[in-house]
Amino acid sequence: MHKRLLDFLDVRLGIRDILEQNLTKYLLPKNVNIWYTLGAVLLALLSLQFVTGVLLLVYYVPNPAEAFKSVEIIMNDIPYGWLIRYLHAVGSNVIVIALLLHMLSVLFMGSYKKPREFTWISGFVLFNLTLVLCLTGYLLPWSQLSFWATTVATEAAGAVPLIGDGLVRFMRGGAMVGDATLGRFFALHVMVLPAGLVALVGFHLFCVRRIGISKPPFGEDYAPTEVADEFVHEEHPGGIPFFPNYAIKDLAVISLFLGLLALLVFFAPGLFIPPSAFEPADPFTTPAHIKPEWYFLWAYQTLKIFPSEFLGLAAQGVVMTLLALLPFLDRGKERRPFKRPLFLTCYLLGILLFVAISIWGHYS
């Protein structure tokens, strides 16, 4: 049966050739390491996010009078509704963790360098798009947490000179967070951003596959090579077949992340969903301690550290621009981390600073 189906497809689409080129004959570098599984982990987690998101959409009502109630119904009355909702809400945090690890490993191994500039930039935009998806999703349950976290987050844009006020009004659809904000965040969260994300993931994977996976810069036989000025697909003769050898590793690490997600959903959902997420939004009562999600804490605290919010925003802009343009700024051919002491120092200091400012933001 399986052979007959393959024969049928092979005659019409040449499917055997496609499968061979992308699975069994797709060779990865001999010293490929576990960090290269994170892209597949992200694909798996994003797929789960799409499925749970669509299921939530069946019962969620995007209007301030009913949004909170509809989420309560999902949590309490719909069979396994609580599970779907927690997988989606907690899952978004696990995706950000996987994104940060993927980005850090690519930085450490210098695989953002020529000729992978487009892979890096598309990844960097994906990272930011994912954060905006998280931000827009946060408002949808219309809880105290949603309402006030969105008020704080949109307020920050007010620090932009000249256009700040207009920008805040544009994001909120009015002076305050209200009906219009929910409408536009809903449209962004369920349609515009997911469509953009899918297109960009497609482009990112195209870049990865077209150029070929980079050789990890470790081991005796690694030597930095000059990148040609014409297009060359990076081959790895004698390497490890993607299928089944590396696909098993991908599967193992995906299972590890799904296990982590299950642990969090069943035993510690409160880690990411604080009590104010269970109170309906009240625009007239500001909660005492309203904090953005953990991955925005660094940005929230930077605005407070600088003497003016504008300077804080400018500092964030500089850091993000430097990161986005990194492959064009760091042009040396050396990729071995320990042969790049200046980069390694900035890398470690950057991680330390991110963690320290986030902890400071949490306790401030």
The answer for residues whose C-beta is within 8 angstroms of residue 136's C-beta and 6 or more apart is 185, 186, 188, 189, 193
* Residue number, 71 or 134, with CB nearest to ligand HEM: 134
Least distance to ligand HEM from the beta carbon of 308, Å? 29
- Cβ proximity to ligand HEM, 99 vs 281, nearer residue: 99
Give the shortest CB-205-to-ligand HEM separation in angstroms. 6
Smallest separation (angstroms) from ligand HEM to the CB of 117? 9
Is residue 249 close enough to count as binding ligand HEM by CB under 6 A? no
Phi/psi at 242 (nearest 5 deg)?
-60, -45
CB count within 10 Å of CB 247 equals: 15
Least distance from ligand HEM to the Cβ atom of residue 261, Å: 16
* Residue choice 56, 96, 139, 213 for contact with ligand HEM (CB under 6 A): 213
Residues 67-126 that bind ligand HEM (CB under 6 A): 99, 102-103, 106, 111-112, 116, 119-120, 123-124, 126
Handedness of CA 239, 242, 247, 250 (dihedral sign): positive
CB 180 within 8 A of CB 154: no
C-alpha 350/C-alpha 342 separation (Å) is 12
Q: Give 157-190 as a DSSP string.
A: GGGSTTTHHHHHHHHHTSSSSSHHHHHHHHHIII
Smallest distance from ligand HEM to CB 115, Å: 10
The correct pick among 214, 276, 301, 302 for binding ligand HEM (CB under 6 A) is 214
295 binds ligand HEM (CB under 6 A): no
CB-CB contact of 28 with 236 (8 Å): yes
Return the SS3 of 240: strand
Please name the residue ranges forming H helices in 109-163: 117-139, 144-156
Q: How far is the CB of 267 from ligand HEM (least distance, A)?
A: 27
Minimum CB separation of residue 348 from ligand HEM in Å reads 18
* Residue 114 or 184 with smaller CB distance to ligand HEM: 114
Q: Which of 33, 16, 14 is nearest to 25 (CA)?
A: 16
**Cα-to-chain-centroid distance, residue 85:** 19
Of the candidate spans 66-74, 200-208, 291-299, 306-314, the one that interacts with ligand HEM by CB under 6 A turns out to be 200-208
Interface residues with ligand HEM (CB under 6 A) are 36, 38-40, 42-43, 46, 99, 102-103, 106, 111-112, 116, 119-120, 123-124, 126-127, 201, 204-205, 208, 213-214
